[in-house]
């Protein structure tokens, strides 16, 4: 339950910070029952001096459900920050139920753990805290600092091992979208790594179907795990204001010639209605680029509407440019 605990720990304390640092802080009322519970806990803290002191703020002596009550009691001060009162209170109530289970060392099923992650991302995006996630305080990944596809606006790099164990990449789409994906998840199922897009009410699979780094002479997927890397990121290659999703893989061994690189570009078409989040038609693979027989380390470069991959041989390069609704081969062989 450690990952679920991290999400809840971060969200609960971020909500405390949100209330404590709100411009209307001096006008916010604390329910009398909450104040009474906080005073009791402060007294207990004085008697047990060996225990850590929380803070001077009363908010840190309250439970998660109490924070929800404060929002409701003082809604006129907070309403400008949320779509509606039921939007935020409903999510915090869901999180409270999960928190109580974890607090009593109970088990959360996968669906509940996914709900926690989705609610966390929705609330932090709504309040503009999504940039905090770049610190990886709530991810089950080991992102590498250096990628092999240069130019992505934001990205993470995983080894095959970490993608197999279960990794997440937080997606960013314009706040104006009524229906926006929250994150991309990977996990190993049967014989291969699966890629899944999570919404607040649905999950759908994407199928990159990589060939790079695989053995083609056997039926089951076999990756050369020590050298295969995945890079996930976003970049608006068609210039429509909605970034495309890039799922890439690199197969490279320093002393083995002929490295490979494969790039899959998925375009998202936002549906009109929330109940259509689950439709696979919302996603289209608009770019499918396998590059092999590259001398030296395979790398790709994004600039404007082009994807360029140097062949590291006499100035030759692969290049594909997006124009008039499709990618066109503009490379120099």
81-129 residue pLDDT tens: 998 998 998 899 988 888 888 888 888 888 788 888 888 888 887 887 6
pLDDT, one tens digit per residue, over 210-223 is 887 655 544 545 55
Residue 139 has pLDDT above 60, yes or no: no
**Could you tell me if 85 and 162 lie in one domain?**
no
Same domain, 81 and 173: no
Q: Do residue 88 and residue 162 come from a single domain?
A: no
Question: Which one, of 268, 250, 225, 224, lies nearest residue 157 by Cα?
Answer: 250
Residues 97 and 227 in one domain: no
Instruction: Say what the pLDDT of residue 136 is.
Output: 37
Domain boundary (135, 166, 189) is at: 135
What are the backbone dihedrals phi and psi of residue 223, each rounded to the nearest 5 degrees, phi first? -100, 145
CA-CA distances (angstroms) from residue 193 to 163, 165, 185, 186, 205? 7, 9, 10, 7, 11
Structural domain including 102 reads 2-135
141 within domain boundaries: no
Domain assignment present for 111: yes
Q: Are residues 36 and 154 in the same domain?
A: no
Confirm whether 87 is domain-assigned: yes
Statement to judge: residues 106 and 153 lie in one domain: no
Largest distance between two CA atoms of the chain: 77
Residue 19 shares a structural domain with residue 163: no
Contact 245, 207 (CB under 8 A): no
State which of 78, 108, 135 marks the end of a domain.
135
- Are 41 and 180 in a shared domain? no
* 259 in Cβ contact with 251 (< 8 Å): yes
325 and 185, same structural domain?
Answer: yes
User: 125 with 165, same domain?
Assistant: no
Tens digit of pLDDT for each residue in 236-261?
999 999 999 999 999 887 666 667 89
Considering the domain boundaries, does residue 17 fall inside one? yes
Does residue 121 sit in the same domain as residue 190? Answer: no
| Chain-centroid distance, C-alpha 5 | 17
Q: Enumerate the H helices of 48-84 as residue ranges.
A: 64-73, 75-78
List the beta bridge partners of residue 263: 248, 289
pLDDT per residue as tens digits for the range 44-74: 777 776 666 566 678 888 888 888 889 999 9
Mean pLDDT of the region 139-167: 79
User: Which of 82, 112, 135 is a domain's end point?
Assistant: 135
Task: Let me know if residue 140 belongs to a domain.
Answer: no
Q: Are residues 167 and 288 in the same domain?
A: yes
Q: Mean pLDDT highest for which of 32-46, 185-199, 252-266?
A: 185-199
- CA dist 318 → 258, 261, 290, 300 (Å): 15, 11, 10, 9
The answer to whether position 142 is within a domain reads: no
pTM of the model: 0.64
Q: Which of 2-6, 49-53, 200-204, 312-316 has the lowest mean pLDDT?
A: 49-53
Would you say residue 32 lies in a domain? yes
Q: How many structural domains are present in the chain?
A: 2
Q: How far is CA 314 from CA 148, 254, 310, in A?
A: 21, 20, 10
Residue 144 forms part of a structural domain = no
Under the banding of pLDDT at 50, 70 and 90, the label for residue 234 is very high
């Amino acid at each position: 339950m450690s990952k679920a605990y991290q999400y809840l720990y971060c969200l609960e304390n971020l909500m405390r910070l949100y209330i404590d640092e709100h411009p209307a802080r001096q006008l916010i009322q604390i329910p009398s029952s909450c104040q009474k519970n906080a005073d009791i806990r402060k007294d207990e803290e004085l008697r047990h001096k060996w225990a850590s002191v929380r803070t001077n703020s009363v908010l840190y002596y309250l439970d998660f459900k109490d924070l929800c009550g404060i929002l409701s009691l003082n809604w006129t001060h907070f309403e400008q920050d949320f779509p509606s009162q039921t939007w935020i209170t409903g999510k915090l109530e869901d999180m409270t139920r999960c928190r109580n289970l974890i607090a009593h060392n109970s088990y959360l099923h996968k669906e509940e753990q996914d709900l926690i992650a989705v609610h966390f991302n929705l609330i932090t995006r709504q309040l503009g805290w999504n940039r905090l996630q770049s610190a990886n305080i709530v991810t089950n990944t080991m992102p590498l600092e250096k990628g092999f596809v240069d130019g992505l606006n934001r990205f993470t790099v995983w080894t095959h091992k970490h993608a197999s164990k279960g990794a997440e990449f937080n997606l960013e789409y314009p706040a104006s979208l009524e229906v926006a994906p929250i994150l991309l998840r990977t996990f190993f199922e049967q014989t291969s790594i699966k890629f899944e897009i999570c919404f607040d009410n649905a999950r759908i699979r994407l199928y990159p179907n990589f060939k790079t780094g695989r053995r083609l002479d056997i039926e089951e997927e076999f990756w050369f795990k020590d050298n295969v890397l995945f890079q996930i990121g976003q970049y608006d290659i068609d210039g429509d204001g909605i970034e495309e999703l890039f799922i890439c893989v690199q197969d490279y061994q320093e002393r083995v010639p002929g490295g490979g690189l494969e790039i899959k570009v998925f375009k998202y078409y936002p549906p009109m209605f929330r109940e259509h989040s689950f439709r696979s038609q919302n996603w289209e693979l608009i770019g499918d680029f396998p590059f092999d027989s590259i001398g030296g380390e395979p790398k790709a470069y994004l600039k404007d509407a082009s994807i360029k991959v140097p062949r590291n041989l006499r100035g030759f390069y692969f290049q594909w440019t997006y124009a008039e609704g499709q990618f066109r081969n503009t490379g120099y062989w």
